[in-house]
Amino acid sequence: QEQLVQSGGGLVQPGGSVRLSCTASGFTLDSYAIAWFRQAPGKEREAVSCIASSGGRFYYLDSVKGRLTISRDNTKNTVYLQMNSLKPEDTGVYYCASHYIICTPDAPDFGYWGQGTQVTVSS
């Protein structure tokens, strides 16, 4: 069965860090771009970051630039989102999703989705 499995997240204090992982099962990530989306309470899902199959990186929100790093390890079939200097407004459910080769910020274009993982930034 082809799927994306997420891990990481949880409750983090402001200023803290967390790393989210997205591992492909049943297919290899080599030919896929992987994006991270966030859905904050009461808000629509928005694209946060994406890494293309070539390794090109995109950060879609000005609020996260300089604090988040997306990376991939194709040998582990996994994409990571390292989140530093977390703020309460980073709180939400984070989803990873796959798209063939290139990145796009448009959620409907993505095929496989992870199950979502909660990140709560609070003291």
What's the average model confidence in pLDDT over 58-62? 94
What's the average model confidence in pLDDT over 27-53? 95
- State the Cα–Cα distance between residues 34 and 114, nearest whole angstrom: 10
Q: Which residues contact 112 (CB under 8 A, 6 or more apart)?
A: 2, 3, 4, 24, 97, 98
What's the average model confidence in pLDDT over 41-59? 95
What's the average model confidence in pLDDT over 38-64? 95
65 with 59: CB under 8 angstroms? yes
Q: Which residues contact 62 (CB under 8 A, 6 or more apart)?
A: none
The residue type found at 68 is L
What's the average model confidence in pLDDT over 48-70? 95
Looking at residue 108, its pLDDT comes to 87
Mean pLDDT of the chain: 95
- State the Cα–Cα distance between residues 67 and 87, nearest whole angstrom: 10
**77-to-16, 46, 71, 85, 89 alpha-carbon distances in Å:** 26, 24, 11, 27, 30
Looking at residue 107, its pLDDT comes to 86
Span 76-112, pLDDT tens digits: 999 999 999 999 999 999 999 999 999 999 888 899 9
- State the Cα–Cα distance between residues 111 and 53, nearest whole angstrom: 15
Rg (CA), the chain: 13
Whether the per-residue pLDDT at 70 is higher than 90: the answer is: yes
Please report which confidence band the pLDDT of residue 73 belongs to, taking 50, 70 and 90 as the band edges.
very high
